[in-house]
Amino acid sequence: MATPLVVSEVAKSFTMHLRDGVRLPVVANVSFSVKAGECVVLGGPSGVGKSSILKMLYGNYGVDEGQILMEHDGRLVNLAAAEPRTVLEVRRTTLGYVSQFLRVVPRVSALDIVAEPLQARGVVAEEARERAAALLAKLNLPKELWALPPATFSGGEQQRVNIARGFITDHKILLLDEPTASLDAKNRTVVVEMIAGKKAQGTALVGIFHDAEVRDAVADRIIDVSEFSPRKHAA
């Protein structure tokens, strides 16, 4: 499909249960679409709702109104209304996510953490590990770390393991939450190249990048999330 992701009139507010159920509107009328091979960056000031939109797109946050349409397995799925089982199925094969921080699994090596999403899609262990090793090498993770669980790694080392895990599959839609925040200039450049590679393969990307240089290097379009501020719509 030429447009793998269509977001239509999505609205979200948080209910503060510890404050007498006060409702805090965050975004309203969020509408945009992302074409195959395009990288859309969510911009705007701190607290405007960028991460909340990304979490709704991944199905981590519920959606009050609107639709999040994704082409999955030859059909259209509205992730905003999908059953948890469907959300998990879409995540396995269509929708990838690189979070800001690695979720460390005790006793599992960096190499196996990176190889796991491929094995979950049926690739044999040896090939999955080879591809994981190639990505870790590309991201300059020292080889002596590959067999170790990343719990003791530095912030930038953990982030590179996380990026490798998110980029190893060929998901058609990839969400990136500040993937370069803890990286040095050399590795930021590697990630910019990896994003360009995904675009060339036809992946639709949505990301948050606070680093202006990275943002300008990867973005085809920047959406100012202030446009979706409920206060703006009420005015």
Total of chain residues touching ligand ATP, rule CB under 6 A? 10
Say how far apart CA 1 and CA 134 lie, in whole Å.
29
85 or 103: CB nearest ligand ATP: 103
Q: Are strands 22-34 and 39-43 parallel, antiparallel or unpaired?
A: unpaired
Counting contacts by CB under 6 A, is residue 47 touching ligand ATP? Answer: yes
- Shortest approach of ligand ATP to residue 21 CB, angstroms? 12
Counting contacts by CB under 6 A, is residue 182 touching ligand ATP? Answer: no
Candidates 88, 12, 16, 102; CA nearest to 50 is 12
Residue choice 28, 52, 64, 98 for contact with ligand ATP (CB under 6 A): 52
Counting contacts by CB under 6 A, is residue 85 touching ligand ATP? Answer: no
Counting contacts by CB under 6 A, is residue 161 touching ligand ATP? Answer: no
Q: Are strands 39-43 and 204-208 parallel, antiparallel or unpaired?
A: parallel
133 or 222: CB nearest ligand ATP: 222
Counting contacts by CB under 6 A, is residue 109 touching ligand ATP? Answer: no
Residue choice 10, 43, 51, 64 for contact with ligand ATP (CB under 6 A): 51
Give the binding site for ligand ATP (CB under 6 A): 14, 24, 26, 46-52
